[in-house]
Structure 1
């Protein structure tokens, strides 16, 4: 009897832990694709899981900080979803590539347009961000998630370092140290690709020339061999004819001698 009670209690405890763990980790998050360096550009995925068993997510809103504004935020098209970018005027203009920017993106909203995030599913919404600020180590992107039963979940609580995770934490994009190439090494990659292409072209051209020369040399060799074979055949043919004539003459002379 005691064993049964212990087993039931253990099962309830494990179920509670699993349930609480799932709730803690099943929140909206932002994950960079590669590196998100200060002062550079980055592509990130906004990951939105569905936490409800009886409702589907039909709207997602990501709000960008006003203390570290971003001049450029571009959403990648997601099938079944409509994206809308909202901008706001800045109290202090930004300078980007020698130009002053008077407004920045304040939020991006995705609305279901033929698709939903069903129970037990998640959806990723890619964004291109830039230019990332150089004076902070992270960007807090507050999110609002709306379900088709009109329930709204606000992921807006800013996580504090050293403190327990809040119930509805806001997505946080951590920024790495600034790099020399703010474009993520794209120029280096293009240069390497160009050099590789040139090398491949040179090798292909050189290889073709080499094969052509070799083929030409082989052709000349085969032609010379064929000519030599024809000459030999002609000489042997003439010799054979002469031997045949000599044999006939010898036979005629031998016949005359016998008759005599």
Structure 2
């Protein structure tokens, strides 16, 4: 019995160790997450960038984008972001975050870079090849695809699995912005409502003034 229990514990420990090791390896990769991201929709993409070097800091990250209509970065203290667009199509081709002098992701640390983007491609998966630059000049390219046998490469490209489109209106970006046509329609409706309310207020004000004046006249007569 003791032998069986020992073997079971050893097997469970080995499996747990393997899982932790795999998680550690995956955590060392540049990855992208976007809960609820849908095909053809907008989402906030979060790129998680760990520093694998033991002697240098991460000072720059460039991510290739799949020709996106909208790409907006979140302000990050100590970092400057630039979205590169095609001069003809005006579609976003890539985004680069560069650390200010004296700033970087030190060894043993990681940083998250956020990007509000869309519409996302209408496909099951989308990859975002990335180039990670260190303070000593080393550049690590995370751009390898998963092999035909499903084996993960040494430097996999950050990949996002997209859910099928739910049929909701995708004209809004992840930050809640609407298209110019929707904005104009909403503004027009709001303006009309304001005018009606303003007109009603003027009528009620005039009526109140008239009643007050009548009461004053009657008071003086009495």
Greater C-alpha Rg: 1
Q: Does 1:36 align with 2:34?
A: no
Q: 2:58, 2:134 within 8 Å by CA — same for their partners in 1?
A: yes
2:151 maps to which of 157, 161, 164: 164
Using the TM superposition, give the Cα deviation of residue 163 of structure 1 relative to its aligned residue in structure 2, in angstroms.
1.6
From 70, 74, 77, give the equivalent of 1:76.
74
1:118 aligns with 2:106: yes
Q: Could you state the TM-score of these two structures normalised by the residue count of structure 2?
A: 0.64
Partner of 2:68, secondary structure, is coil
Shift, 1:133, TM fit? 2.2
Decide which structure has greater helix share: 1
User: Per-residue displacement from partner, 1:202-247 (whole Å, max 9, x unpaired)?
Assistant: xxxxxxxxxxxxxxxxxxxxxxxxxxxxxxxxxxxxxxxxxxxxxx
State the Cα RMSD in Å. 2.8
Distance 1:118 1:138 in 2: 31
Counterpart Cα distance in 2 of 1:75 and 1:161: 34
What CA distance in whole angstroms lies between the structure 2 residues aligned with 1:133 and 1:170?
A: 16
Kindly indicate whether residue 139 of structure 2 is the aligned counterpart of residue 152 of structure 1. yes
Deviations 1:101-132 (A, max 9, x none): x2211110010015210011000001001112
- Runs (4+) off by over 3 Å: 17-25, 183-186
Superposition map of 1:1-260 within 5 A: 22-32=24-34, 34-65=35-66, 69-89=67-87, 102-113=89-100, 114-134=102-122, 136-160=123-147, 162-181=149-168, 182=170, 183=172
- Unaligned 5+ residue runs, structure 2? 1-17, 177-222
* 1:20–1:86 distance in 2 versus 1, CA, 3 Å: same
Q: Which runs of 5+ in 1 are unaligned?
A: 1-16, 91-101, 187-260
TM-score, structure 1 normalization: 0.55
Contact 2:40 2:121 in 1 (8 A): yes
Is the 2:28–2:50 Cα contact (8 Å) retained in structure 1? Answer: yes
1:70-113 C-alpha deviation (Å, 9 max, x unpaired): 111111111110001101256xxxxxxxxxxx221111001001
